[in-house]
Amino acid sequence: MKIPFTKMHGAGNDFILIDDRSLTFPIADQTFLARIGSRRTGIGCDGIILLQPSAGADLRMRFFNPDGNEQEMCGNGARCFARLAFSLAAVPKKMEIETLAGGIHAEVLDDQVRLVLTEPTDWRMGLDGGLERPVDFVNTGVPHVVVRVADLKNMNVGELGKRLREHEKFAPEGTNANFVKVEEDGTLSIRTYERGVEAETLACGTGAVAAALVAARNGWSGLPVTVHCAGGYDLGIDSSDGKTTLTGDAEVVFEGEMGYGNRI
């Protein structure tokens, strides 16, 4: 069986997107999901996204980490989802997307996509995460730890991120870990270790939102704020009618077909 796919990226976070409105994708085959997500033996990505029908929204977004495990949602992935869904004429420019984290609104702009996200939950400030400094925690659709640092460039994000990801305070699900520098102009620079990917990624939308919200709560900066991602792209975080918004690019990289039941 040949399965068409679209490779996209949002702020450097890359995804494999599949139009599964027919509900025929082999979603239960976790081994297959992990194989196509592998950068060495498959297509390679930070996440696999399915576009599916929804009973209560315009479309349903299913998001899987490259290890094949399903997660609640992904901010950069949701922007790619919205851009592709609109290009397929499956939704209007302003749409509602069903996710495991709840409903999110999206609007396709000229060259960017804006999301209105679910309410952040599970705030836990000033935690001892096993580092030399306190860490803050918030769930922005998925769990995130935020750590303020002075020297972002020379941080060992792999080692420290893994330590936080596996810390007992965040067990059993674990957490994503974000290391944030507050720049002189009030903008934020960020590097993120993502669970499921189990490595640093070039960007994380929900991580950028977590960093912006923690920075605002701690008085490090305010909203709106620009977050500079590791891949060189910027994300805009703001608040509208009491809801948090995430704005950034969503670009097609290439299209192709994958074979199911055969070697990729």
Query: What pLDDT is stored for residue 264 in this prediction?
Result: 46
> Is 140 in the same domain as 156?
yes
Residue range(s) defining the domain that contains residue 36: 2-112+249-259
**SS3 (DSSP) at 258:** strand
Residue 27 backbone phi and psi in degrees, to 5: -65, -25
Domain assignment of residue 264, yes or no: no
- Predicted pLDDT at 253: 97
Residue 11 lies in a domain: yes
How distant, in Å, are the alpha carbons of 60, 91, 110, 127 from that of 56?
9, 13, 27, 38
State whether 171 and 108 are in the same domain: no
Evaluate whether 103 touches 56 at the Cβ level (below 8 Å): yes
Residue at 232 is within a domain: yes
Specify whether 204 is catalytic: yes
User: Residue 240: what pLDDT?
Assistant: 83
Active site residue 80: no
CATH number for the domain harbouring residue 80:
3.10.310.10
133 and 243 belong to one structural domain: yes
Mark whether 29 and 125 lie in a shared domain. no
| Catalytic position from the list 45, 80, 204, 229 | 204
Mean pLDDT of successive 10-residue segments in the chain (264 residues)?
96 97 96 94 96 98 95 96 98 98 95 94 94 94 96 96 95 95 97 95 96 97 97 95 94 96 56
Q: Residues 45, 74, 80, 229: which is the catalytic one?
A: 74
- Asked if the structure places residue 101 within a domain, the reply is yes
Residue 241: the pLDDT is 84
What's residue 262's pLDDT? 55
* Number of structural domains in the chain: 2
